[in-house]
Amino acid sequence: MKKATMKTGLLAMALMFSGSIAQAQQATLAETVVVDGWGREEQDLSKLPKMEKDIVILQNVLGDLFGNGDSYFSSSRSAKGMYIPGGGVIFSMSSRSSYGALLVEYVDVARVSSGQSGDAEEEVDVEEFNKKTEDAIREKSKEFLTNYGSLLSELKSGEKLMLNVDYSVRQDRDGQRSSGNRITFVSRSNQKRMQSSISYKTLNDFSTGKINLQQAMSAVETSIIEDAEKDMTDAKILAGILDDLMQSSMDGKFRRRSKTNWTYFDGFGLMLNIQMSTSMRGTDVLVYSQGSRVISRVDESDKEKERADLAKELEEAYPEFENMLKENIIQYGRTLRSLGAGESVIVNVDFGSIIRDSKMPRSIRMIIPKSSIDAYAKGQKSLEQVKKEIDIKKLQGSVGSSSTFIYNGSSNFFPAVYETVPEPPAAPVIKGTSRSRSRSNR
């Protein structure tokens, strides 16, 4: 066990951080968007369904709870929630990179030797630091689930409330003398996820006074997932397949702009997140010189025309893209052997700001029951039949946006689903990123 007197200044060298079913229904796109003074989209909570309004409120509660005096977590924008009827509500919270994947700390030997370090230094022990971090996350998770979970008044019998917190722990550091009297310590961090859940019955018993707060907290189930990427090889393979398939589609109108990442939620299914852009040429900028200055100029009329033409082409290509994505998930989703009964494949596609004037959705979310995919693989259902069973929601805002956005039924990272799904079984939570051989276009 190593101890060293460290200056409190931390330098993060690499950021760590960065996400059913009945007949298909299609949400209507919001016709108007309200923006704040920073150009971010705002939402009118009074227009949301009760469950969605409660989720938005609890997202803010979760962010405030973890952000209160805690440097490990960012603002409430990192807290995301999703409701799946029959399963329950999932909240996810990601730590910000307070020290990142690579941490550099230093100590001034001269100041320590002369006793001038003062309050700017502290004893740092890796194991003790990690234990305090996990204990704090565990206690705050229990507080959130028990004290605030009862606000989800529309949670039903058999459902549960789950909180997933992604964080990182520090590994042992090595010290070496650098320039002057300074010793530099370098260590890396390892990503983990703490999963906590509480049943509807426990929440109801606590709300009605049948059990006290301590009993409710004791009923919270907590587990820690380590080395997640070593598991669920089939999920990584499917993400890699989608990377290849989505590299370029519709004659380059849609192109993948980053690797497909995935997250497994126990009892709910596998969530895949795909980021798309376009390789189509935009408006040219005319550049000319005037004396010693270089001036850029764009003809506004030409700019507007090209923007309108691009928007039209993307809108015309979108239906074919959507159909292609459905078929790929059905045909290649059969390789997922690790999903349990009643679970689904959840696909989020974020088009970002491909073009703001386009009427196509900014993002979409598809939910395909694994049972439907299996039925197709066994020849019990045709491809067209399964496509009709896919639930799809279209959003006017970006799925991966850090700011809030108008939802045609939802306002967070996980768009809401109002169809019925079977009661899910228990399973571990796993998260990872695909390792495709293809290179992403950024």
Q: Please report the DSSP string for 115-172 in residue order.
A: T--GGGEEEEEHHHHHHHHHHHHHHHHHHIIIIIGGG-TT--TT-EEEEEEEEEEEPP
Q: CA of 231: how far to CAs of 37, 228, 236, in Å?
A: 45, 6, 9
Q: CA of 148: how far to CAs of 19, 62, 94, in Å?
A: 22, 9, 19
Answer whether residue 215 shows pLDDT above 50.
yes
pLDDT for residue 184: 58
**442 inside domain:** no
pLDDT for residue 415: 39
**Confidence class for position 28, pLDDT limits 50, 70, 90:** very low
Reported in sequence order, the residue ranges of 302-390 that DSSP labels E, i.e. its strands, are 344-350, 363-369
User: Which range is least confidently modeled, 15-19, 377-381, 393-397?
Assistant: 15-19
Q: Where are the alpha helices (DSSP H) in 378-420?
A: 383-389
Q: CA of 213: how far to CAs of 122, 149, 205, 220, in Å?
A: 35, 12, 10, 11
| Contact (Cβ atoms closer than 8 angstroms) between residue 399 and residue 348 | yes
Of 241, 228, 144, 190, give the one whose Cα is nearest residue 437.
Answer: 241
Answer whether residue 384 shows pLDDT above 90.
yes
208 contact partners, CB below 8 Å, separation of at least 6: none
Reported in sequence order, the residue ranges of 200-340 that DSSP labels E, i.e. its strands, are 221-226, 248-249, 254-256, 261-265, 269-277, 286-290, 293-297
pLDDT for residue 229: 56
Averaged confidence pLDDT in the chain: 70
In a 10 Å sphere around its CB, with 0-12 CB exposed, 13-18 middle and 19+ buried, how is residue 44 labelled?
Answer: exposed
Tell me the two tokens of residue 168. Answer: 């990182």
Of 100, 104, 98, 101, give the one whose Cα is nearest residue 174.
Answer: 104
Q: How many domains does the chain have?
A: 1
pLDDT for residue 181: 60
Helix (H) or strand (E) holding 302: helix 300-332
**148 inside domain:** yes
The type of residue at 272 is L
Is pLDDT larger for residue 392 or for residue 45? 392
Answer whether residue 108 shows pLDDT above 70.
no
pLDDT for residue 440: 42
Answer whether residue 330 shows pLDDT above 80.
yes
Tell me the sheet residues that pair with 269.
Answer: 265, 344
**177 inside domain:** yes
**102 inside domain:** yes
Dist CA 344 CA 20 (whole Å) = 7
Range of the domain at 308: 3-433
Q: What is the pLDDT of residues 39-89, one digit of tens each?
A: 344 557 777 788 888 998 999 898 888 876 554 554 445 678 878 767 789
pLDDT for residue 232: 80
Share of the chain above pLDDT 70, in %: 59
| Mean local confidence (pLDDT), 259-263 | 88
Residue whose token pair is 């896919």 = 390
Dist CA 166 CA 196 (whole Å) = 12
**438 inside domain:** no
pLDDT for residue 7: 39
pLDDT for residue 268: 80
Is pLDDT larger for residue 14 or for residue 127? 127
Tell me the sheet residues that pair with 205.
Answer: none
**440 inside domain:** no
- Give the rounded distance of the alpha carbon of 223 from its chain centre: 20
**Confidence class for position 168, pLDDT limits 50, 70, 90:** confident
Taking the CB of residue 291, how many other CB atoms lie within 10 A of it?
6
User: Which range is least confidently modeled, 9-13, 177-181, 224-228, 255-259?
Assistant: 9-13
pLDDT for residue 21: 32
**318 inside domain:** yes
Share of the chain above pLDDT 90, in %: 24
pLDDT for residue 363: 84
Q: What is the pLDDT of residues 400-429, one digit of tens each?
A: 433 322 223 333 344 333 223 333 334 444
Q: Are strands 174-177 and 182-199 parallel, antiparallel or unpaired?
A: antiparallel
pLDDT for residue 382: 96
Answer whether residue 390 shows pLDDT above 50.
yes
pTM of the full structure: 0.62
Residue 350, CB-side half-sphere exposure with 13 Å CA sphere: 21
**108 inside domain:** yes
Q: What is the pLDDT of residues 139-158, one digit of tens each?
A: 999 999 999 999 998 999 98
Q: CA of 240: how far to CAs of 79, 268, 347, in Å?
A: 27, 21, 14
